[in-house]
Structure 1
Amino acid sequence: MSTAKIAHLTSVHPRNDIRIYHKELISLNRNYKCSLIVADGLGSYVDDNKINIIDVGKPNSRLDRMKNSPQRILQAALKLDADLYHLHDPELLQIALNLKKAGRKVIFDAHEDLPKQVLSKPYLNKFNAYIISFIVKYYEKFICSKLDAIVTATPVIRDKFSKISKKAIDINNYPLLGELTPLDKDWSKIQNEIAYVGGITKIRGIEQVVDALSLLKTSTRLNLVGTCNEKSTTEIFIKKIGWHAVNELGQLNREQVREVLQKSIAGLVTFLPVPNHIDAQPNKMFEYMSAGIPVIGSNYPLWKSIIEDNNCGICVDPENPKQIANAIDILVNDKTLAAQMGQNGIKAVNEKYNWSIEEAKLFQLYEELLGN
């Protein structure tokens, strides 16, 4: 095990974030002394995996988070005196150069394409969104060009950063092998249920999904896992006719998610066509595949190349509830087809869409930067 100390920093994500903690940190913890600096108010301690969790306190508001949390995290990071800092939020770019000036290696992990993401923010009007996106694009370029490496969640984002960074690598958000894969699933006993797992927002197509439930020819329920923080969106979809067919399950742990997916016939990931979604690779898409259930996904070229080319689901127009309903009806009424698509998904994950492959790339990057 290396004596190098590394720290992952986040002001936004929970301490048990799938990408940050369960994938990157758990993997890296085998070779390095790992710390995680968070801002969630849940306290500091060394956890069961011997990862040092440092909590700088939960912010009082979005403004407090964006303005003050990065400075609190910077102070904690400098006090920790790690050899390498791995930043996970765009708002932490404001402290990245301070860490560089301290003589440390710094990585920025671009989970999303930030300038495109800004264009889809529901609380910004189009004009303001465009201006902020323009500013963010050049600010991001200025800071990231001075960092040691950029890690990205997709090849498309990697290609963008390859033009401005000396080292950009995609570490895809593929699932952990075996975590969600069923041991023995009897499709003949599966009830007419489908699943949606993850953040629930307007641009992730929740309204169209609920509308689709009212158009189904075969009665089917939706296992809805996650929370919606958009009050106006919630007020709309809970009043829709299709809402009566929703099992609202809220936030669940990983074992509970596994149980929900095992009793579902298919998984939905019908994100709407906003700029940040077209070339995205949603984690839930691969988790459905890993769980052995067909994916009903948006019909974007990249998504179709994953879902349809591997024959593990059906792609639809995410803005068309009728198409979503038709896809659900097809799979609910042909469980043999659903089971075969589910097996195809497992095969694809085992062969090419799994964390073991991405983990090796992450280790190689760290070895290069730390000189091991």
Structure 2
Amino acid sequence: AHDLDALWPAVRAARRLRRPLVYDSHEFWIEQSSLVNRPLVRSFWSLLERHLIKRVDRVITVSQSIAESLTTRYGLGGVVILRNFPLFREKVQSDLIRETLDLPANRPIVLYQGGFLTENGLREQIEAAAGFGDAALVLIGDGPSEKALKEQVRAGGLQDRVYFIDRVPFHQLHDYTCSADLGLCLIKGAGKSFYYSLPNKLFEYMMAGLPVVASNFPEMQRVVSKTDTGVTIDPTDIDAIRQQVTQLLSDEKRRAACSQACLDAAQHYHWEREAGQLTDLYSTLG
């Protein structure tokens, strides 16, 4: 069962077919931002999960923090941490962003890639971009906040500092990523699902050799601190975003060291290394 909304029918199917059941608590469902201010709805999902989780054979989740929370909340044992890493990609030589936007070859690119969602910190990143010096902030993707973000750029007179590229096919995304200089992963902590998250883009940036500026939340901070691949900050602190981006861009020696650390870390943080835990788990179920 992939997340809580699929668990009830999965429990029924497993019981009818007499098959073992694995529950993948991928999104930390009851701690999603959409439920933060909806206590009655959240209580319903919480009671449902407490009732159904007793009927599963194994539980999987995506981070240590979520595993610890589920263990404490429901008295579980042996929650398997299966991090949702991307497939490994080698860094490629690319200048695709500058070519697409007709930007000078020497203009630094600060990149965000992913969904344009309310809690992804994009409003703060756009506001901070006014102080990125000669660097361009490039947002690749789409989503429900796109219109509001473009209006923010227009209203702030930031059209020469903030650029949008429509969502690109996934098999092409890596070439765009490799053409940037710095990656932003500044999701906001609205709900513990986000607070304990470990976004794919963090590791996609590493595979492209991009030093990262990430949220100072437990999982992201653990990875960035361990690998020395960038910095972590409060994602709502616009001055801190501006300061850390400009410092990394102006310090060529540090940026080069972080870039190499990213490529080194990418050799470990990819799905091919992680997948064995999943096959091992299934092999124990018979």
SS at match of 1:309: helix
State the distance in 2 between where 1:309 and 1:166 align. 27
**Number of residue pairs matched?**
272
User: What residue in structure 2 maps to residue 114 of structure 1?
Assistant: 29
Give the unaligned 5+ runs of structure 2: 96-104
Matches within 5 A, 1:327-338: 327-338=244-255
Matching residue within 207, 222, 231 for 1:290? 207
* TM-fit CA distance, 1:332: 2.2
Contact 1:210–1:240, Cα closer than 8 Å, also in 2: no
2:87 paired with 1:176? yes
| Secondary structure, counterpart of 1:281 in structure 2 | coil
Q: Please give the alpha-carbon distance, in whole angstroms, between the structure 2 residues aligned to 1:191 and 1:355.
A: 33
Q: 2:243 maps to which residue?
A: 326
Structure 1 position 161, deviation (Å): 3.3
| 1:170 maps to amino acid | I
Query: Which digits, 9 at most, give the CA deviation of each residue in 1:212-238, with x for residues without a partner?
Result: 11122x222122111122478547634
CA shift for structure 1 position 211? 0.2
| Aligned counterpart, 1:211 | 127
- Taking the aligned partners of 1:125 and 1:153, their CA distance within structure 2 comes to 20
Q: Contact 2:92/2:175 (CA < 8 Å) preserved in 1?
A: no
**SS of the residue aligned with 1:280?**
coil
Contact 1:145 1:166 in 2 (8 A): no
- What TM-score, normalized by structure 1, do the two folds share? 0.67
1:222 aligns with 2:133: no
Q: Normalized per residue, which structure has more helix?
A: 2
Q: How does 1:126-141 map to 2 (within 5 A)?
A: 126=37, 129-141=38-50
| Aligned with residue 175 of structure 2, among 242, 249, 259 | 259
1:364 and 2:267 are equivalent in the alignment = no
Cα distance in 2, alignment partners of residues 175 and 264 from structure 1: 19
1:156 matched to 2:65: yes
Q: Name the CA distance, whole Å, in 2 between partners of 1:309 and 1:125.
A: 31
In the TM superposition, residue 261 of structure 1 has moved relative to its aligned partner by 1.2
Cα distance in 2 for partners of 1:134, 1:219 equals 49
| 1:54-103 deviation per Cα after TM superposition (whole angstroms, max 9, x unaligned) | xxxxxxxxxxxxxxxxxxxxxxxxxxxxxxxxx22432123122212222
Residue of 234, 239, 263 corresponding to 1:317: 234
Aligned partner letter, 2:188? L
**TM-score w.r.t. length of structure 2:** 0.85
**CA shift for structure 1 position 140:** 1.1
Alignment of 1:36-51 (within 5 A): none
RMSD: 2.4
Contact 1:199 1:228 (8 Å CA) reproduced:
yes
Task: Report the counterpart of residue 193 of structure 1 in structure 2.
Answer: 109
Q: 1:165 offset after TM fit, Å?
A: 4.6
- Contact kept? 1:265, 1:331, Cα under 8 Å: no
Instruction: Find the aligned partners of 1:249 and 1:235 in 2 and give their Cα distance.
Output: 11
Alignment-derived partner of residue 303 in structure 1: 220
1:173–1:283: 8 Å Cα contact kept in structure 2?
A: yes
Look up the match of 1:101. Answer: 15
1:166/1:326 Cα in 2 relative to 1: closer, same or farther (>3 Å)? closer
SS in structure 1 of the partner of residue 226 of structure 2: coil
Q: Does the alignment pair 1:144 with 2:34?
A: no
Residue identity in the other structure for 1:138: L
- Which secondary structure state, in structure 2, belongs to the residue aligned with residue 105 of structure 1? coil
